[in-house]
Amino acid sequence: MKFFVDTADIESIRDLAATGLLDGVTTNPSLVAKTGRDFVTVLREICAVVDGPVSAEVTATDAAGMLQEGRHLAEVARNIAVKVPLTWDGLKACRALRQAGTMVNVTLCFSAGQALLAARAGATFVSPFVGRLDDVSEDGMALIRDIRTIYQNYPTIETEILVASVRHPRHVIEAAKIGAEVCTVPPDILKKLVQHPLTDKGLAAFLADWKATSQAIPRKGSA
């Protein structure tokens, strides 16, 4: 599974990119607004740090407007994936942008039927929002299973499932078990995946035993 991070905070992105675990970034108007900075400037900085796809969302709601904004965003950097909503006009814009060679992330997906249409429109990614479905007492992961089953039935479908609206590490694990290609998560969720109390306990025991030996491993390059 590929990990994308769902943020526009450049410092968080740099920190996560240093691990080698970061495969891409997803942003939206709300996340960029939180930075208080210029939209295009933020995108350029992110694209310079991350080699993988960086989703940048249009704000127009009509197909012509989405296409115009999408073309502008695609010029920011080679790794921009234009993000369009899963509406009729969004599908039209997706098709046109993909025919021009631009990556497209079709977002706000809440049904398997929508995901099928996005794939037919040529979407690079489709983003089902599992957390928001859970919020209204629906099963977000059931949607991921349905999309995976449908896509597997048709080998010509190249659209990748990008699991979004992730609320906790369990969402990530379940998505990986189902076989979703990508999971986009807030920085804190990605960091929670590395945490386990037994890891902390084991490390403390190892260090205590080592300290008792009064030895030290030389650090290369240290004074």
Q: Which residues are catalytic?
A: 83
Euclidean distance between CA atoms 37 and 183, whole angstroms: 26
Euclidean distance between CA atoms 51 and 79, whole angstroms: 7
Euclidean distance between CA atoms 174 and 194, whole angstroms: 16
From 195, 164, 139, 130, select the one nearest 31 (Cα to Cα).
164
Q: According to the 3-state scheme, what is the secondary structure of 34-71?
A: HHCCCHHHHHHHHHHHCCCCEEEECCCCCHHHHHHHHH
Contact 210, 204 (CB under 8 A): no
Burial of 25 (0-12, 13-18, 19+ CB in 10 A): buried
From 37, 36, 104, 33, select the one nearest 74 (Cα to Cα).
104
